[in-house]
């Protein structure tokens, strides 16, 4: 599709420079090729026409057929709007336009029959449709079959570019340049999988005549996306495994043995032992390790990390642990230096707020090799941080780190260090396959003994009093309590206000207890001070935002109240909940919501109340929200190029794409055979744009 990629979209009839700029900015559509790959997000069956009387709140986009009764211009200045009454004989509806009022009132006549297409909403007990598409029943776009609904932005709509506009452009493009669509797959793959040819698939996806052909087209296009993603990653990871040598940690020496025999605070769980064995095996193989360690909150990943770092030290290299926040880095530092100093390991903490003097000492010791383990935030990957011989890197709660940051770590030594990525967000296997390429995966699927599952309940605003009573009971027993507020970046001021009000009302309710208060906008020192008040037990209640989401460890805290729980994602709620249930006592998590919540919201929260298994929660989250929202997928850069495939639901196609990549590369690692020429050509474009996953992950 070479030529389609090289034509700027502004040259398409009806677009021009200013719209082209807008399309690029809003949708990333730059070329003819991009426009053809801007697929409808869903379809509306043109044969179905709804009645106004039958509308209900769950409907996305619908078609209605009827007449305008009147047009009235209301309001003034910026608030001017055109309101039309529309009826189809069953009931009336208001149709509202905020822009292009003059053109619209001239274009549409009362009495004529029109087909409206839009999203109905109920407002003041009247059905409303804002800026619908309006068609004569006879017009060409009111065709048979399905009609695609294209993803758009508010800005585009404001400029009068609707789904139908895009449809029109695509049709023009297909009519004039459709023959330039080149097949991207080899005949071997296409035939064996009975795939629809690419040009037909693209035509069909934009203008399907029936459901069967639409499904075939979707399958073809999804496969294509996932296949080239896999082919690219697999090709590089094969190369890397052949070429890139890693440290060979052949021995287990006195650091590890000493610690294991004399200092282990508790016997390892079976899962911890197994995972350490897997990591040891990797590190001894001579190939650079890239391993993902998954383990639910509280499963004991830190101890595993420490034991692996000790093995690294036994092989005369330095180790480093990177955490996403200062609080978490400090906590790791406490835990790890506390344990490791007993066997003579020198551990230091480096964050953005490390003082110059300490920092100089760290630099010096890093370079003369006397500093064994460096713990810190992303400050540790700054270029000026130089190790004498960095051999092992642990990245905790990896989803906060992007691919690029990982790549920087990778370059910190001539021989690339082994990398262990730890995460409490479980990722289904097929997703990991795509997001992390050839990252090997270890799983801690067992919690340390004696843990009681956190008892989780949902409570509504009108039950707040009784919630406060239970908090009071826990406090009386000497336990501590977290109260968590959502922070949503779009309106920080408002959020901060609700947080502050929450803080004040808690202080009022529990006057005899000390309340600490922390949020992300605080100076690190103030934050640390407040956190330490709570960690030491001096403060009984901690009112906080999600800054406490990861890693914070206060076993005496047995209750967590999450305000506006409906505003959090499931995985995030699960992370938060992981802050309680860390001691021997029964713990509680209360999900507070307002009185009225949507059915899906309730179902989502009920997953939290029905299980404490992080894998189940993550799977449900993935199904409900899609992987684009899954922390890690966006940053990983994978979601960037997927137009149609869905990492959450297309697991089988991912597997198929993976198997085919392997099969092809087994036979022809450099894709030099003539039959693979189309694959090579297509990859050339992809490699151009994509990050080189094979080296990074």
SS3 (DSSP) at 521: coil
d(Cα 677, Cα 675) in Å, to the nearest integer? Answer: 6
Length of the chain: 697
What's the rounded Cα separation, in Å, for the pair 534 and 516?
7
Cβ-based burial of 597 (10 A; exposed 0-12, middle 13-18, buried ≥19): middle
Rule CB under 5 A: is residue 40 a binding residue for Mg ion?
A: no
- Kindly tell me which of 266 and 465 has the beta carbon lying closer to ligand ADP: 266
3-state secondary structure 194-238: CCCCHHHHHHHHHCCCCHHHHHHHHHHHHHHHHHHHHHHHHHHHH
SS (H, E, C) 143-185: CCCEEEECCCCHHHHHCCCCHHHHHHHHHHHHHHHHHHCCCCC
Instruction: Determine if 612 is a binding residue for ligand ADP (CB under 6 A).
Output: no
* Degrees to nearest 5, angle at CA 75 with 74 and 79: 120
Taking contact as CB under 6 A, which single stretch among the options 193-201, 240-248, 293-301, 385-393 is the one that binds ligand ADP?
293-301
Half-sphere exposure of 537 (CA within 13 A, CB side): 6
Per-residue x/- mask for ligand ADP, residues 396 to 435, rule CB under 6 A? Answer: ----------------------------x-----------
| Residue 316 CB, nearest approach to Mg ion (Å) | 27
246 binds ligand ADP (CB under 6 A): no
Cβ atoms of 48 and 64 within 8 Å: the answer is no
Partner in contact with 299, chosen from ligand ADP, Mg ion, none, beta carbon below 5 to 8 Å by kind? ligand ADP
The token pair at 409 is 């770590």
For residue 145, which of 67, 90, 82, 212 has the smallest C-alpha distance? 212
What, of Mg ion, ligand ADP, none, does residue 200 touch, CB below 5 to 8 Å by kind?
none
Residues 207/201, Cβ–Cβ less than 8 Å: no
Ramachandran class of 671: left when φ > 0, alpha when ψ lies in -120 to 50, beta otherwise? left
Q: Is 581 among the residues that bind Mg ion (CB under 5 A)?
A: no
Q: Which of 14, 76, 243, 266 binds ligand ADP (CB under 6 A)?
A: 266
Residues 517-556, one symbol each (x = binds ligand ADP by CB under 6 A, - = not), give: ------------------------------------x---
Number of residues that bind ligand ADP (CB under 6 A): 16
Binding of residue 332 to ligand ADP (CB under 6 A): no
Closest distance of CB 523 from Mg ion, Å: 25
Give the DSSP H/E element, type plus range, for residue 134: strand 133-135
Judged by CB, which is closer to Mg ion: 186, or 269? 269
Based on the shown chain and the rule CB under 6 A, indicate whether residue 614 belongs to the binding site for ligand ADP. no
The span from the CA of 315 to the CA of 418, in Å, is 13
Distance CA 348, CA 112 (A): 78
Binding mask 84-113 for ligand ADP (x = CB under 6 A): ------------------------------
Per CB under 6 A, which region of 254-262, 290-298, 340-348, 586-594 contacts ligand ADP?
290-298
- Using the minimum distance from each CB to ligand ADP, give the nearer residue, 9 or 617: 617
Q: Which is nearer to ligand ADP, 115 or 303 (CB)?
A: 303
Give the shortest CB-304-to-ligand ADP separation in angstroms.
8
* Cα–Cα distance, 12 to 169 (Å, whole number): 8
Interface with ligand ADP in residues 438-467 (CB under 6 A)? 448
Nearer to ligand ADP, 296 or 566 (CB): 296
- Closer CB to ligand ADP, residue 7 or residue 260? 260
According to CB under 6 A, which one of 300, 416, 627, 632 is a site residue for ligand ADP? Answer: 300
Identity of the residue, 82 or 552, whose beta carbon is nearer to Mg ion in the bound complex:
552
530-559 positions binding Mg ion, by CB under 5 A? 551
In angstroms and rounded to an integer, the radius of gyration of the C-alpha atoms of the chain is 29
CB of 633 vs ligand ADP, minimal distance in Å: 21
Residues at the site binding Mg ion, with contacts judged by CB under 5 A: 551
Residue ranges in contact with ligand ADP by CB under 6 A: 266, 268-269, 272, 295, 297-303, 424, 448, 553, 582
């Amino acid at each position: 599709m070479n030529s389609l990629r090289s034509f700027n979209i502004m040259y398409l009839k009806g677009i021009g420079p200013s719209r082209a700029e807008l399309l690029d900015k809003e949708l990333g559509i730059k070329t003819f090729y991009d426009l053809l790959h801007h697929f409808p997000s869903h379809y509306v069956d043109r044969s179905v026409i709804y009645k106004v009387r039958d509308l209900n709140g769950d409907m996305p986009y619908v078609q209605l057929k009827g007449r305008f009764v009147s047009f009235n211009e209301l309001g003034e200045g910026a608030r001017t709007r055109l309101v039309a009454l529309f009826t189809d004989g069953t009931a009336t509806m208001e149709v509202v336009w905020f822009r292009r009022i003059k053109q619209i009132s001239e274009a549409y006549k009362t009495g004529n029959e029109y087909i409206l297409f839009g999203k109905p909403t109920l407002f003041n007990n009247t059905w409303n449709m804002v800026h619908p598409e309006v068609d004569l029943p006879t017009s060409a776009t009111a065709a048979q079959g399905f009609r695609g609904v294209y993803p758009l932005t508010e800005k585009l709509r404001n400029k009068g570019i609707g789904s139908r506009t895009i449809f029109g452009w695509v049709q023009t493009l297909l009519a004039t340049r459709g023959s330039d669509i080149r097949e991207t797959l080899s005949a071997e793959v296409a035939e064996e999988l009975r795939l629809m040819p690419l040009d037909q698939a693209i035509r069909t996806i934009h203008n399907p005549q029936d459901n069967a052909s639409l499904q075939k087209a979707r399958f073809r296009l999804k496969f294509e996306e996932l296949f080239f993603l896999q082919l690219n990653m697999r090709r590089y990871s094969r190369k890397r495994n052949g070429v890139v040598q890693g440290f060979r940690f052949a021995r287990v020496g006195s650091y590890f043995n000493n610690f294991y025999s004399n200092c282990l605070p508790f016997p390892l769980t079976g899962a911890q032992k197994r995972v350490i064995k897997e990591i040891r095996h990797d590190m001894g193989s001579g190939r650079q390790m890239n391993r993902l360690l998954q383990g639910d909150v509280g499963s004991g990943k830190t101890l595993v990390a420490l034991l692996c770092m000790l093995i690294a030290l036994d092989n005369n290299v330095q180790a480093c642990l990177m955490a996403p926040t200062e609080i978490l880095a400090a906590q790791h530092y406490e835990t790890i230096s506390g344990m490791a100093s007993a066997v003579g390991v020198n551990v230091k903490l480096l964050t953005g707020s490390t003082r110059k003097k300490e920092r100089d000492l760290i630099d010096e010791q890093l370079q003369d090799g006397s500093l064994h383990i460096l713990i810190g935030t992303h400050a540790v990957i700054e270029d000026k941080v130089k190790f004498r011989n960095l051999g092992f890197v642990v990245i905790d709660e990896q989803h906060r780190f992007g691919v690029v940051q990982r790549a920087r770590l990778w370059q910190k030594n001539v021989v690339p260090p082994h990398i262990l990525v730890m995460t409490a967000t479980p990722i289904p296997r097929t997703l990991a396959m795509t997001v992390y390429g050839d990252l090997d995966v270890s799983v801690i699927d067992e919690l340390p003994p004696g843990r009681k599952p956190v008892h989780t309940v949902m409570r509504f605003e009108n039950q707040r009093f009784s919630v406060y009573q239970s908090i009071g009971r826990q406090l009386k027993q000497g336990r501590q309590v977290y109260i968590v507020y959502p922070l949503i970046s779009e309106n920080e001021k408002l959020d901060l206000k609700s947080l502050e009000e929450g803080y004040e009302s808690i202080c009022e309710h529990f006057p005899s207890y000390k309340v600490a208060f922390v949020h992300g906008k605080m100076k690190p020192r103030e934050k640390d001070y407040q956190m330490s008040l709570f960690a030491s037990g001096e403060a009984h209640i901690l009112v906080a935002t999600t800054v406490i989401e990861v890693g914070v460890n206060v076993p005496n805290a047995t209750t967590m109240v999450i305000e506006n729980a409906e505003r959090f994602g499931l995985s995030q709620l699960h992370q938060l909940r992981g802050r309680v249930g860390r001691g021997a006592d029964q713990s509680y998590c209360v999900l507070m919501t307002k009185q009225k919540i949507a059915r899906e919201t309730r179902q989502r929260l009920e997953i939290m109340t029905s299980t404490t298994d992080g894998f189940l929660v993550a799977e449900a989250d993935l199904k409900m929200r899609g992987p684009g929202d899954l922390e890690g997928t966006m940053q990983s850069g994978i979601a960037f190029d997927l137009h149609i495939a869905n990492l959450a639901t297309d697991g089988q196609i991912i597997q198929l794409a993976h198997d085919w990549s392997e099969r092809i590369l087994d036979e022809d690692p450099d894709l030099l055979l003539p039959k693979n020429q189309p694959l090579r050509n297509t990859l050339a474009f992809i490699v151009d744009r994509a990050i080189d996953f094979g080296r990074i992950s």
